[in-house]
Amino acid sequence: MLVRQLFDAQTFTFTYIVADGINSDAIIIDPVDSKIEQYMKLLKELNLTLKYVFDTHVHADHITAAGKLRELTNCITLLGDATNAACVSKTVSDGDIIQVGNLAFTVLETPGHTQDSFCLYTAGMVFTGDTLFIRGTGRTDFQAGNPVDQYHSIVNKLFTLPDETIVYPGHDYNGNTTSTIWEEKNFNPRLAGKTVEEFKHIMDNLKLPNPKMMDIAVPANLACGLI
């Protein structure tokens, strides 16, 4: 199995290219528009056929490469069915399976960071978008975010995955790359031993500035990055 974790230093975004191996079908999760050349080069070098682009949600901090990758490769762009972005090729629902070669990804609906946040699980790993970070969580203060929903998405959904499942987050701001479900259950300071009320109190008091690109990124991403 091939998992490439790529990092956009401007927005601290992780993008993933996942496939059975070289010469296979591939999926790209959360691509950033300024990195398209890097993705296209790697796809070519590894002889990967891009089948799907999956955005875990409509992002506020960067512009998706989904639309441009679709133009370049004829891939299918996917978002969860809670999205407002009419530009996607196809929406997927909780429990759906996305088949990429021999890899089967299960779609997990995990609202909270935004109302349209989804994760992808395949044996041994979960791509958590901005739902669950390493020792943190995605903010819940815009795009219809909701800390109570996020708590339930994490505790009652992601934390029911096997403990050894590798967590591949959508961002990291502290130099981390991966974690496991067990680690986050035990050491995530917002979640370990915390009630839903305690989690909500933490999330309601983060006092974060809006992302620099938010006013540009959200409308652009509702058009799959093609404006």
Element (H, E) at 108: strand 103-109
Query: To 10 degrees, the CA torsion angle through 65, 70, 76, 78?
Result: 20
Q: Closest CB to Fe ion among 25 and 55?
A: 55
Q: Which residues contact Fe ion by CB under 5 A?
A: 59, 130
Which of 64, 122 has the CB closer to Fe ion?
64
Distance in Å, CB of 97 to Fe ion, minimum: 24
Nearer to Fe ion, 35 or 59 (CB): 59
Shortest distance in whole angstroms from residue 60 CB to Fe ion? 6
Q: How far is the CB of 59 from Fe ion (least distance, A)?
A: 5
Nearest approach, Cβ of 201 to Fe ion (angstroms)? 21
48 or 126: CB nearest Fe ion:
126
- Dihedral of CA 91/99/121/152: which sign? positive
| Residue 180, strand partner residues | 166
Helix (H, G, I), strand (E, B), or coil: what is residue 143?
coil
For residue 6, the tally of other CB atoms under 10 A from its CB is: 17
Q: Please, what is the minimum distance in Å from the beta carbon of residue 105 to Fe ion? A: 19
* Shortest CB 29 distance to Fe ion, Å: 13
For Fe ion, give the closer residue by CB, 86 or 208. 208
Closest-by-Cβ residue to Fe ion is 130
Q: Can you say whether residue 47 is alpha, beta or left, with left for phi > 0 and alpha for psi between -120 and 50 degrees?
A: left
Percent helix, strand and coil across the chain, each to the nearest 5: 25, 30, 45
| Contact residues for 30 (Cβ-Cβ < 8 A; gap 6+) | 13, 14, 15, 16, 54, 55, 56, 59, 64, 129, 170
- In the complex with Fe ion, the residue whose CB is nearer, 59 or 68, is 59
